[in-house]
Amino acid sequence: NAGVTQTPKFRVLKTGQSMTLLCAQDMNHEYMYWYRQDPGMGLRLIHYSVGEGTTAKGEVPDGYNVSRLKKQNFLLGLESAAPSQTSVYFCASIQGASYEQYFGPGTRLTVT
Amino acid sequence: GQNIDQPTEMTATEGAIVQINCTYQTSGFNGLFWYQQHAGEAPTFLSYNVLDGLEEKGRFSSFLSRSKGYSYLLLKELQMKDSASYLCAAARYQKVTFGTGTKLQVIP
């Protein structure tokens, strides 16, 4: 039981490049979340999903897209990376009944 | 974010008790999470309160007052390893949003 995993762990992009961050969970959780964490800003919700095939916007969705084609995976895409997207990205999942939220280890992204 | 407020920093002495407060906007509120986050690591779940009152888990307890939009995390018998950031998060339906966190420093 791996819990919540994130790929990649580190990445450096140039401005304008695109990439996809993968979050996978093997706990059969319904709800999945993408957050970014910046110094002094706390965790900010980018997008979330309440089930396979559904997504919703969080607090800071601009510049990001997401997809939840399979229940166990939640993908975060950056179509045209900007330096303001330099951050640590965390994925999390919740089993609906217990509401215990598990986080992945994070992806450290630098956009130059 | 989402009108969740908690103190930025706190300092407490090893062996003592510390209370970290959190206030939140009550509209659409479902429940209140507390997390611990050590520097450079992912947050780890501590508690989730739905009903009013105090829930105890070993040295950590969490309290919720839904009518007042108020929660606190109580840490007893502080240890040096408790030095970390403590994050308060509110669930509104399935949307979970965080405060900016309280950085706790435990000193000998």
pLDDT digits (tens, 9 = 90+) for B69-78: 999 999 999 9
pLDDT for the residue B1: 44
Q: Which contacts of B77-81 are long-range, i.e. CB under 8 A and separated by 24 or more positions?
A: B77/B15, B77/B17, B78/B12, B78/B13, B78/B14, B78/B15, B78/B16, B78/B17, B78/B18, B78/B106, B79/B14, B79/B106, B80/B14, B80/B106, B80/B108
> Is pLDDT at A63 greater than 60 in this prediction?
yes
> Is pLDDT at A73 greater than 70 in this prediction?
yes
pLDDT-wise least confident of A40-44, A46-50, A69-73: A40-44
Chain A positions touching chain B (beta carbons under 8 Å): 31, 33, 35, 40-45, 48, 50, 56, 58-59, 90, 92, 94, 96, 98-106
**Token pair 């957050």 in the structure block, residue:** A35
> Is pLDDT at A95 greater than 90 in this prediction?
no
- Look at A43 and B98 and tell me if their CB atoms are within 8 Å: yes
Rounded distance between C-alpha atoms, residue B58 and residue A36, angstroms:
30
Cβ contacts (< 8 Å) between A103 and chain B: which residues? 42-44
pLDDT band at A7 (very low <50, low <70, confident <90, very high): very high
Cβ contacts (< 8 Å) between A40 and chain B: which residues? 100
Rounded distance between C-alpha atoms, residue A109 and residue A107, angstroms:
6
Closest by Cα among B43, B20, B1 to B103 = B20
Kindly provide the residue ranges of all beta strands, DSSP E only, lying in chain B, ordered along the sequence: 9-13, 18-23, 31-37, 44-49, 53-57, 60-65, 70-75, 84-92, 95-98, 102-107
Closest by Cα among A109, A52, A105, A98 to A75 = A52
> Is pLDDT at A29 greater than 70 in this prediction?
yes
Of all residues in chain B, what percent carry a pLDDT higher than 90? 81
pLDDT for the residue A39: 85
Mean pLDDT, residues A39-55 taken together: 92
DSSP at B5 = B
> Is pLDDT at A2 greater than 80 in this prediction?
no
Of all residues in chain B, what percent carry a pLDDT higher than 70? 98
Q: Which of A42, A96, A105 sits opposite B87 (nearest CB)?
A: A42
pLDDT band at B2 (very low <50, low <70, confident <90, very high): low
